Amino acid sequence: MNEQSREEQSLFLEFPLESLDFMRAGEASSELKQRLKKLGVKPELVRRAAIAAYEAEMNVIIHARKGTMRVEITPARLLILVEDEGPGIIDIEQAMQEGFSTASQAIRELGFGAGMGLSNIKRCADDLVIQSTPDQGTRLQITINIEKSDR
Ligand SMILES: Nc1ncnc2c1ncn2[C@@H]1O[C@H](COP(=O)(O)OP(=O)(O)OP(=O)(O)O)[C@@H](O)[C@H]1O
Ligand SMILES: [Mg+2]
């Protein structure tokens, strides 16, 4: 496939994310899930994308000020890019550990803060790149490959 036709087969989605907007929490990832289903993406990949997107979305809502989720879908892969303005993550390795959380008591009472989100994203992704600048924000790049046999 040449670049032109690959480009034509790309689909871009964009969702704004607001801090502590629990009314709309999970909306971006659930809309993504519906769109992927409609596109005929294999259920196992839809499931992995939906989990990864949900955890990344909730992390912006809970830990940052505001952000954006952008999704690019090509025949070969799903790319989920989540960027936020917020406190950033000082120690990414520590944040990745299961059970590590800085969530407040109030957030834990809402059922979040088990410290499982980032490790869940890692498990669902074929590739995960986390970049973060303290006091500025965080950027997650999540890739889920679509195998030739799935297309
Ligand atoms: N977008 C972000 N901005 C700033 N800090 C973050 C962000 N995402 C994660 N973190 C930090 O990394 C920690 C671990 O994140 P993780 O998603 O694994 O757990 P959690 O959000 O605390 O709990 P859970 O996801 O299980 O509800 C968070 O507690 C927070 O300190
Ligand atoms: Mg989380």
Q: The CATH number of the domain where 141 resides is what? A: 3.30.565.10
28 falls within a domain: yes
Q: What is the mean pLDDT of residues 103-109?
A: 96
Q: Is residue 58 part of a domain?
A: yes
Domain hosting residue 139, numbered range? 12-150
Is 2 within the bounds of a domain?
no
Q: How far is the CA of 15 from the centre of ligand 2 (A)?
A: 18
The gap between the terminal CA atoms of the chain, to the nearest Å, is 14
Report the separation in Å between the CA atom of 3 and the middle of ligand 2, taken as the mean of its atom positions.
Answer: 36
User: 27 in a domain, yes or no?
Assistant: yes
Domain count, the chain: 1
pLDDT digits (tens, 9 = 90+) for 35-79: 999 999 999 999 999 999 999 999 999 999 999 999 999 999 999
Give domain status of residue 37, yes or no.
yes
Whether 115 maps to a domain, the answer reads: yes
Q: Count other C-beta atoms under 10 Å from residue 5's C-beta.
A: 9
> What tokens does 135 get?
């006091």
Q: What is the pLDDT of residue 88?
A: 98
- Residue at 3 is within a domain: no
Residue 94 lies in a domain: yes
Q: Report the C-alpha gap between 95 and 114 in whole angstroms.
A: 12
Dump strand ranges (E) for 50-146: 66-73, 77-85, 127-133, 137-145
Q: Is 144 in the pocket of ligand 1 (CB under 6 A)?
A: no
Mean pLDDT of the chain: 93
CB distance 115 to 101 below 8 Å: yes
**Residue 102 and residue 95: Cα distance in Å, rounded?**
9
Assessment of whether the complete model's pTM goes beyond 0.85? yes
Torsion of CA 97, 101, 68, 76, to 10 degrees: 20
CA of 114 to the centre of ligand 2 (A): 8
Backbone angles phi, psi at 7, to 5 degrees: -60, -45
Name the residues around ion ligand 2, CB cutoff 5 A.
59, 117
Distance CA 42, CA 151 (A): 9
Q: Say how many residues make up the chain.
A: 151
State the Cα angle at 97 between 51 and 103, rounded to 5°: 75
What is the token pair recorded at 47?
A: 């499931």
